[in-house]
Structure 1
Amino acid sequence: MSWFWNRGTSSPQDGEFFPPAGSGSAGKDGDDAPPISEESKKWVGFDPTGLERAAKAVRELDSSPNAKHALDLAKLQEQTVQYKHQEEIRKQEAAIRQWESERSRVEQEEKRKTLGAETQQHQERAKYQDQLARRRYDDQLLQQRQMQEENLRKQEESVQKQEGMRRGTIEYEAELRHKNEMSRVQAEIQGKTKMERENQDLALEQIRLKSSEQRTTVLQSIKAAGTLLGEGVSNFVTDWDKVSATAAGLTLIAFGVYTAKMGTGVVARFIEARLGKPSLIRETSRLSLFQSIRHPVKATKKLFKRPSDPLAGIVFESSHEERLRSLCKATINTRQNGGLYQNVLMYGPPGTGKTMFAKSLAVHSGMDYAVMTGGDIVPLGSDGVTAIHKVFDWANASRKGVLLFVDEADAFLRKRSEVSISEDLRSTLNAFLYRTGESSRKFMLVLASNQPDQFDWAINDRLDDLIPFDLPGETERLRMLKLYFSLFVLAPPRVTWWKTPKSIPLQEGVDWEREIEQISKNIIGFSGREISKLAISWQARAFGSSEGVLTKEILDHCVKEMLAQHEQKVRWQKGH
């Protein structure tokens, strides 16, 4: 519809409207009216009453107080429609962007797949080229080997030909020499044979004369010897002075031989007891006269050496240390006052410090220590009794006193009621019991065993004190680790006076204090010997590394290996 009004001026009046241009009301005269167009023909017969009603509604709306609000509402509705269209546009744009992103992702995925395929193809091509290169190299090696073998074969053939020629020459020369020698020998034999045939009668005559002379000489010698012997015996028997002198001389000779034999044995036993060392003693701090002459510096230092802390360098539990210090003090006072020494048994797992403490106790108390093992007595057999007596005679000859430490004592001090014990070992045990029946002022007996329940009941009766040596706890393990870490890593001990060892550098940035504390918590069940071996392994691995530095990796690796070895030892001990 082409009807309109000017809203900015005034509303059309009822019945007032503006028909479209070219309508039939443009002029009264039909002749002057313009021709009706096709567009105007569409409005012919149109009923304008509807438009009138609409105009009336518009006038009423304009006269209404809510007209302005209705216009604003219409504007809002239009803006809402526009916002909806813009929202649809944004959704379409977002969908377009998402589609473009998805397309980009797909393109990137395709590119990545393509790149992966190309990379795999390059790898396969490189692998194939490497295989070809290896094959070419193997073929070259094979050809070189074949050429070398061919050259060697040719050289061997040449050497064999030369050797054959040389051997043929030597054989030919030997054959010629042999022929010449055979010809010479044959000629000599023929000449000798001919001469012997010619001189055979003369030789027979000479043999007869020589045999006759020898027979006559032998007969005359026998007659003269018999005559002299008979006259001598007759004169000796008839002369009493000669008989008495002969008897006295023989008696003196026998007495001299017997005296020399017995005196030599006594002197030998005295020298062995005073100066020598029995074969059963494996280690001792007691110096003989010859050793003092051979090592004067060591002997002099020993004379001026003062007692020190017996537990220096040894770590035990605090209450156990107090007991051991009490034993050391009692031993010192016993030696100074000339009292009777106690016999002590140290029992516990191996590597818990029994031998170390026994040596320290002897040195601290001013005594000499001597170490022997029970396993050395068993193979002696019948000689075990003599060996035991030699040990105690040697100990009784000491001026300072001897701490006799018997390690693995259960090896020969077993129950005599056992069927497996031999008569020789039973006799050796009886000799040991005889020499230790009473407390001594010359020696202190210290036994060490891992199985004290196997001792004979008489051995237990001779023991005055039983000291257990248990595995170290966490506190003791930490103290041992710090001690051995300082001893073997930070400040290795001096081996010789002219060579000062250097400390091992440590890796920077590692809290070694915390690492050692953690290790002490992990090595549960380790003995003191195992802990010292762990520190020695740190030292060895650091010396064997290319940088010569102790790192955390070396520390952890050694701990891991020692833990595995400890577990294996435990399984062996349990019989698994």
Structure 2
Amino acid sequence: MSWLFGFNRNSPNVEHKPTFVSTPTENYESKINSNKGMETYRFDSSALERAAKAAKELEYSKNAKEALELAKAQELTWQMEHQNKIKEYELNIEQMKIEQQKIYYEEKHKLIAEETKQSQQRAQYQDQLARRRYDDQLLQQQKINRENLTRQEESVQKQEALRKATIDYELETKHEKEMARVEAQARAKAKAERENRDLFLERLRVQAQEQRVTTLESIKSVTSILGSGFNSFISDWNKIIAAAGGITLLALGAYSAKHSTQVMGKYIGDRLGKPSLVRDTSRLAVTEIFKHPIKYIKRLCSRAENALSGVILSPKLEERLREIAIATRQTKSNSGLYRNLLFYGSPGTGKTMFAKSLALHSGMDYAIMTGGDVSPMGPQGVSAIHKLFDWALTSKRGLLLFVDEADAFLKKRSKEIISEDLRSSLNAFLYRTGEHSNKFMLVLASNTPEQFDWAINDRIDEMLKFDNPGLLERERMVLAYFDKYIIQTCLNNKRRKLKLADFDHVKKCGEIAVRTQGLSGREISKFIVSLQASLFASLDGILAEHIIDERLNSTLDQHKKKLTWINQS
């Protein structure tokens, strides 16, 4: 009747399991599992109370047997429920073990990650230390090299001073010996002259007498010959008439030769001479060919140059200009028709420089004129325009006509803007450029292309904008000009020892490029030329870094002042 008194630990129907749970991770896990086991096998006193109450009821019940069976069934049901709870507790314990294992491995993974991170940080720190040591070693080596170079320069200077002193001593000694020799010779000569003075005077008298006699005899002979000839000429009228006719024919020949030479020279000048509108040209005149034949032969044998040689522009513009240069060269070789171009943009951005390079690259001659030269000619401007294009058509190599400041005379044809003479010159220009030519190529340059007459815009095949250089272009310009005007000057100057101060000139050129934002290529070139002038003017022949900074600040101030003047106008 043990089932009446609740759960029995020794009952064969109840599976008894140990309550000790341990994990290899943490100590607190074992404590939690032991508490769970104690709750599972805890003694229930209410079961005894229920059993006692049930026993009393059974003693006085008529259906004791049925009640006993019912109680037995209830007890079995309760035991089964209790076993299910035990299994649930055991399942929870296993889940807790799994979670603890998961937490353990997660913590272990974090620990490994942290150790890896620490090791990486240690490696980076060690690498930084190694780099610092290497930099310190480089600096120390550079310092040692500078000291060695300084000592070598001092040694060379001392040797040079000793050599100069030796040379000066030798020259002084040689001069003293030479003076002594000259003095001895002079004394000997003076002594000989004093001793032979009478003989010398007598020889001079004899020579003078002989010369006087010879001169008188020559005069008498010439006078007698001329007198006899004049007498025979006067006595013969045929000789007089022949002489007069010869003189007359000679005068007529000289007069006709003079005027024919003038006419021929004017014709040759009109056809081959440089027109008055052309300020600069690579085309040699006939007279210049005879004056400079070697220059003409070198030019005929010269090869095509790179169109962008010495020209620094943006990469996109350089690519387009390179295509134009190749197309122009192919046009000349295939006897095609040249295209007319317009270069517009700020002053000093390389328009004229590229036009010259384009002509030389294409094997053509170039001619540069300025639009402002047409207006002062007045009525003569029309004939000057026609003479210019007639001269261009006679070029066998092809001519690139570059018109700088073209907006000065190619403005819109209105009475309020241009005069009647300038309008006539514009009409003549439009007449000569109405069709494409295989003899000349027209390149216009302007800062204000919006002022062009519409007919001029119609004759332009392609327009290219030349902007102020960007940062990369300024860096290339500063390095190129610094090498050309400063470094090469220091290397090639033999009259005076010029050099740069001890600073990183490449880094300095980068700083200059950053600070010269907004400056044109011409302004940057002028700034480097001013540094060259400062180098020439320095007392010690050294271009220091502070001199560069001073010149740069002055250039930037002047640029700001120019911008102020432009805004005020």
TM-score by length of 2: 0.53
1:367 is aligned, of 352, 364, 376, to 364
Q: Which residue of 1 aligns with 2:530?
A: 537
Matches within 5 A, 1:381-530: 381-492=378-489, 504-508=498-502, 510-530=503-523
> Hey, what's the Cα distance between the residues in 2 that align with 1:502 and 1:512?
21
Q: Which residue of 1 aligns with 2:554?
A: 561
> Hey, what's the Cα distance between the residues in 1 that align with 2:554 and 2:304?
39
> Hey, what's the Cα distance between the residues in 1 that align with 2:259 and 2:383?
18
> Hey, what's the Cα distance between the residues in 1 that align with 2:298 and 2:495?
23
1:339 aligns with 2:336: yes
Matches within 5 A, 1:33-52: none
Q: 3-state DSSP class of the match of 2:542?
A: coil
TM-superposed CA distance for 1:293, in Å, is 1.1
What letter corresponds to residue 560 of structure 2 in structure 1?
E
TM-superposed CA distance for 1:260, in Å, is 12
For structure 2, the 5+ residue unaligned runs are: 1-255
2:567 is aligned, of 554, 571, 574, to 574
TM-superposed CA distance for 1:297, in Å, is 2.2
> Hey, what's the Cα distance between the residues in 2 that align with 1:413 and 1:493?
46
What letter corresponds to residue 507 of structure 1 in structure 2?
A
Query: Are the aligned partners of 1:378 and 1:412 in contact in 2 as well (CA < 8 Å)?
Result: yes
Q: Which residue of 2 aligns with 1:281?
A: 278
TM-superposed CA distance for 1:532, in Å, is 0.3
TM-superposed CA distance for 1:551, in Å, is 0.6
What letter corresponds to residue 543 of structure 2 in structure 1?
L
1:292 aligns with 2:289: yes
> Hey, what's the Cα distance between the residues in 1 that align with 2:372 and 2:265?
27
What letter corresponds to residue 294 of structure 1 in structure 2?
K
> Hey, what's the Cα distance between the residues in 2 that align with 1:362 and 1:500?
36
> Hey, what's the Cα distance between the residues in 2 that align with 1:411 and 1:309?
31
Matches within 5 A, 1:184-263: none
> Hey, what's the Cα distance between the residues in 1 that align with 2:337 and 2:303?
23
Which one has a bigger Cα radius of gyration?
A: 1
Q: Which residue of 2 aligns with 1:169?
A: none
What letter corresponds to residue 328 of structure 1 in structure 2?
A
TM-score by length of 1: 0.52
Say which structure is richer in helix: 2
TM-superposed CA distance for 1:285, in Å, is 0.4
> Hey, what's the Cα distance between the residues in 2 that align with 1:470 and 1:502?
40
TM-superposed CA distance for 1:420, in Å, is 3.2
What letter corresponds to residue 313 of structure 2 in structure 1?
F
Query: Are the aligned partners of 1:343 and 1:464 in contact in 2 as well (CA < 8 Å)?
Result: yes
Residues 1:390 and 1:493: Cα distance change in structure 2 (over 3 Å): farther
Q: Deviations over 1:95-130 (max 9, x none)?
A: xxxxxxxxxxxxxxxxxxxxxxxxxxxxxxxxxxxx
Matches within 5 A, 1:8-19: none
Residues 1:417 and 1:501: Cα distance change in structure 2 (over 3 Å): farther
1:325 is aligned, of 306, 322, 325, to 322
Q: Which residue of 2 aligns with 1:176?
A: none
> Hey, what's the Cα distance between the residues in 2 that align with 1:493 and 1:551?
13
Q: Which residue of 2 aligns with 1:233?
A: none
TM-superposed CA distance for 1:493, in Å, is 11
TM-superposed CA distance for 1:492, in Å, is 3.9
> Hey, what's the Cα distance between the residues in 2 that align with 1:260 and 1:426?
41
> Hey, what's the Cα distance between the residues in 2 that align with 1:407 and 1:493?
35
> Hey, what's the Cα distance between the residues in 1 that align with 2:511 and 2:548?
12
> Hey, what's the Cα distance between the residues in 1 that align with 2:401 and 2:373?
15
> Hey, what's the Cα distance between the residues in 2 that align with 1:260 and 1:293?
22
Q: 3-state DSSP class of the match of 1:445?
A: strand
Q: CA RMSD in A?
A: 2.4
Q: 3-state DSSP class of the match of 1:491?
A: helix
1:551 aligns with 2:544: yes
What letter corresponds to residue 512 of structure 1 in structure 2?
H
What letter corresponds to residue 294 of structure 2 in structure 1?
V
Residues 1:408 and 1:392: Cα distance change in structure 2 (over 3 Å): same
Residue correspondences, number: 314
> Hey, what's the Cα distance between the residues in 2 that align with 1:559 and 1:461?
44
**Taking every aligned residue pair, what percent have the same amino acid on both sides?**
53
Query: Are the aligned partners of 1:492 and 1:503 in contact in 2 as well (CA < 8 Å)?
Result: no
Q: Which residue of 1 aligns with 2:231?
A: none
Matches within 5 A, 1:169-188: none
Residues 1:460 and 1:487: Cα distance change in structure 2 (over 3 Å): same
> Hey, what's the Cα distance between the residues in 1 that align with 2:386 and 2:421?
14
TM-superposed CA distance for 1:272, in Å, is 2.2
Residues 1:404 and 1:322: Cα distance change in structure 2 (over 3 Å): same
TM-superposed CA distance for 1:518, in Å, is 1.0
> Hey, what's the Cα distance between the residues in 2 that align with 1:298 and 1:400?
16
TM-superposed CA distance for 1:501, in Å, is 8.5
Query: Are the aligned partners of 1:278 and 1:394 in contact in 2 as well (CA < 8 Å)?
Result: yes
Query: Are the aligned partners of 2:527 and 2:552 in contact in 1 as well (CA < 8 Å)?
Result: yes
Q: Deviations over 1:476-511 (max 9, x none)?
A: 00000000000000114999xxx9788841101x12
Q: Which residue of 1 aligns with 2:133?
A: none
Q: 3-state DSSP class of the match of 2:499?
A: coil
Bigger drift between 306-315 and 366-375 goes to 306-315
